[in-house]
Structure 1
Amino acid sequence: MTKQGTLGVAVIGTGRMGADHVRRINEVTSGARVAAVVDIDAERAKQLADRIDGCTAYTDPAAAMGSPDVDAALIASPGPAHEAALLKAFERDLPVLCEKPLTPDADSALRVMEAEQKAGHRLVSVGFMRRYDAEYLKLKALLDSERFGRTLMLHCKHRNVSTPPGFTNQMMINDSVVHEIDTTRWLLEQEITAVTVLRPTPSSGAPEALSDPQLVLFETSGGSVVDVEIFVNCGFGYQVQCEAVCESGSARVGDGHALVSNTAGRWGGDIDQDFVTRFEDAYDREVQRWVDATRRGTVEGPSTWDGYAAAAVCEAGVRAQATGARTVTSLIERPALYR
């Protein structure tokens, strides 16, 4: 049903990402307002809500989604809490923008997908923000045009300045490479059929027990090959790059050369230090597109199927990481709702 007037959004989870989305909806996005914020930390939720007219703080997602002021939900809580919040949203037929991961594993993603199919229509958009980045959108349009022929390979880089305490090898796949998994599936419109992970001698800057960097290889259903350098303690900046190698040309995004300065005998530019600044415009575009679609009564963007497929490939990647062996992915047949 088309939503009339301003869309009332419940933001569930008010950590770094959730708080940034609260700011975004309140200050940047048109056609929506923050009607509720939810966090297990009641004081943090209250402090956010008190700064926004007409916003109510909650500690229970179900209570927030049951408010008559709420028309849609944006889930930015930790991944293990997503399934319960999504199922509550489905009970109320609320459209949802769910930050990645959809859920932490393929089994729980399947349960969410089955529940959405019972609702009879799509309700979820998954927050893979690279699909809304201006550079990636240009690359996608180029590959779709087949101007350079078939895409043979993708070369990807994903570098972080450093990792927080407790960051594990598995998180390199589940929290970082998951973006390259979705990017690969979206750019090529192919499923990832196998994963191999190579682990060189760790950098001297890697925390103890973390094998950093790693090289992750994807094989796809269309015969393309993708390599991903994941280096989460590079020390110098946040970099995300992708080069598509096609039959008669190549194209690369992520060089960050929007501004090149020349001064004091040197030339160069700035390197973003985290994902929030690098993909700020993409997040803005993603949320605005979600609000616009919801107000029209439609759902667009990455689907629950995309969230499930990413989780299944992550599981194969973690197994490949642990064994060093090429690992085949396992996906169910794609349901009709997501074709």
Structure 2
Amino acid sequence: MTRRGTLGVAVIGTGRMGADHVRRIHQVTSGARVTAVVDIDAERAKAVAATVDGCAAYTDPVAAMAAADVDAVLVASPGPAHEAALLAAFARDLPVLCEKPLTPDAASALRVMEAERRLGRRRVQVGFMRRYDAEYRKLKALLETGQLGRPLMLHHRHRNVAGPPGFTSDMLISDSVAHETDVTRWLLGQEITAVTVLRPRPSANAPDGLQDPQFVVFETDGGAIVDVEMFVNCGFGYQVQAEMVCERGTARIGDGHAMVTHMAARWGGTIAQDFTERFADAYDREIQAWVDATRHGEVTGPSVWDGYAAAAVCEAGVRALTEGSRVEVELVERPTLYG
């Protein structure tokens, strides 16, 4: 298709993630510029808009989308606001990159999927940025060669220094394990069919009432078993690691040993302290890929189906946590629009 000129992007939500995307598009991404920012906090929107020449600040997403210099939308607002923003973008036939979660639950994700199906073509890329991380991409490429044989087990570790204020036990799954949910489906090419959540005794570093850590087990329709250690108050750093166990070998990523130092009778390296540091390159590649595809009139990357599947798995995971039992994942039939 004909390549568009510079893409005018409206960023909805100017919190930590949204503001970082504004910076990224302005300073790192080629072929796009931020022409509008939206936030219910008018002063915060104005402050972020002031960092980009010619960028307008709005409090209403619909008004921003109607602006003549807006060609595409990046949704970085809280999850409960995503459905309304996506439907408004569909009404104007605007391409969207929507940060995860697509929506907070499977029912609303299904509504978004049905609305996109009525358009007859994909308009949304969901922001599961681990698919753009160099290490995960190497692991995916290795699996696809078949050298290791069929995958049998996958071990994930996901640790944060400390959880944000108001973080709940359910959110360990819906906000954090959601990443492992998607990357598991992507790496294996399989759907998750059941979830079990085991509850170790809570860490003394966790706020009162928070079930942290958690040990989550996925079963897949390809017969693989996957586990996730989710620990949001580990105290020492931000770590994301994965080890694939296959018939003829294993592969592990995320050890963070790019550089090891020896000095003062010690050896070691550094540990990232948050996700924006660990996955900075992945976010850069994700946004650039979205801009490039959009300028060619295409939509690539994680789809609304992927967002819906992740929501359904996370709902099953929250039930498994609450009920203390194995919970099967229920998915609708995959529409042909999503391959």
* TM-score (structure 1 length as normaliser): 0.99
Q: 1:109 maps to what in 2? A: 109
Aligned pairs (5 A) from 1:245-284: 245-284=245-284
User: Tell me, which stretches of 5 or more residues in structure 2 are unaligned?
Assistant: none
Q: 1:227 maps to what in 2? A: 227
Q: 1:331 maps to what in 2? A: 331
Aligned letter for 1:79?
G
Q: 2: distance between equivalents of 1:173 and 1:129?
A: 17
Aligned letter for 1:242?
A
Distance 1:37 1:2, change over 3 A: farther
* 1:154-199 Cα deviation digits (max 9, x unpaired): 0000000011222111000001000000010000000000000000
Q: 2:30 maps to what in 1? A: 30
Q: 1:49 maps to what in 2? A: 49
Q: 2: distance between equivalents of 1:303 and 1:165?
A: 30
Instruction: Tell me if the contact between 1:194 and 1:329 (Cα under 8 Å) persists in the aligned partners.
Output: yes
Residue 14, structure 1, aligned to residue 14, structure 2:
yes
Q: 1: distance between equivalents of 2:57 and 2:63?
A: 10
Residue 73, structure 1, aligned to residue 67, structure 2:
no
Task: Report SS of the residue matched to 1:286.
Answer: helix
Q: 1:319 maps to what in 2? A: 319
Aligned letter for 1:290?
W
Q: 1:178 maps to what in 2? A: 178
Q: 2: distance between equivalents of 1:217 and 1:134?
A: 25
Q: 1:164 maps to what in 2? A: 164
Instruction: Tell me if the contact between 1:2 and 1:294 (Cα under 8 Å) persists in the aligned partners.
Output: no
Instruction: Tell me if the contact between 1:317 and 1:327 (Cα under 8 Å) persists in the aligned partners.
Output: yes
Q: 1:64 maps to what in 2? A: 64
Task: Report SS of the residue matched to 1:293.
Answer: helix
Residue 141, structure 1, aligned to residue 141, structure 2:
yes
* 1:118-142 Cα deviation digits (max 9, x unpaired): 0110000000000000000000001
Percent pairwise identity: 74
User: Tell me, which stretches of 5 or more residues in structure 1 are unaligned?
Assistant: none
Q: 2: distance between equivalents of 1:5 and 1:29?
A: 14
Q: 2: distance between equivalents of 1:307 and 1:249?
A: 31
Shift of 1:3: 5.1
* 1:272-304 Cα deviation digits (max 9, x unpaired): 000000000000000000000000111000000
Q: 2:85 maps to what in 1? A: 85
Shift of 1:235: 0.4
Aligned letter for 1:184?
T
Residue 201, structure 1, aligned to residue 170, structure 2:
no
Instruction: Tell me if the contact between 1:125 and 1:302 (Cα under 8 Å) persists in the aligned partners.
Output: yes
Aligned letter for 2:6?
T
* 1:70-105 Cα deviation digits (max 9, x unpaired): 000000000000000000000111000000000000
Task: Report SS of the residue matched to 1:243.
Answer: strand
Q: 1:100 maps to what in 2? A: 100
Aligned letter for 2:237?
G
* 1:20-39 Cα deviation digits (max 9, x unpaired): 00000000000000010000
Aligned letter for 1:280?
A
Q: 2: distance between equivalents of 1:218 and 1:58?
A: 42
Task: Report SS of the residue matched to 1:311.
Answer: helix
* 1:223-278 Cα deviation digits (max 9, x unpaired): 00000000110000000000000000000010011111111010000000000000
* TM-score (structure 2 length as normaliser): 0.99
Task: Report SS of the residue matched to 2:177.
Answer: helix
Aligned letter for 1:210?
L
Q: Which moved more, 1:40-49 or 1:8-17?
A: 40-49
Aligned letter for 1:143?
L
Q: 2: distance between equivalents of 1:281 and 1:332?
A: 34
Shift of 1:2: 4.3
Aligned letter for 1:189?
G
Aligned letter for 1:14?
T
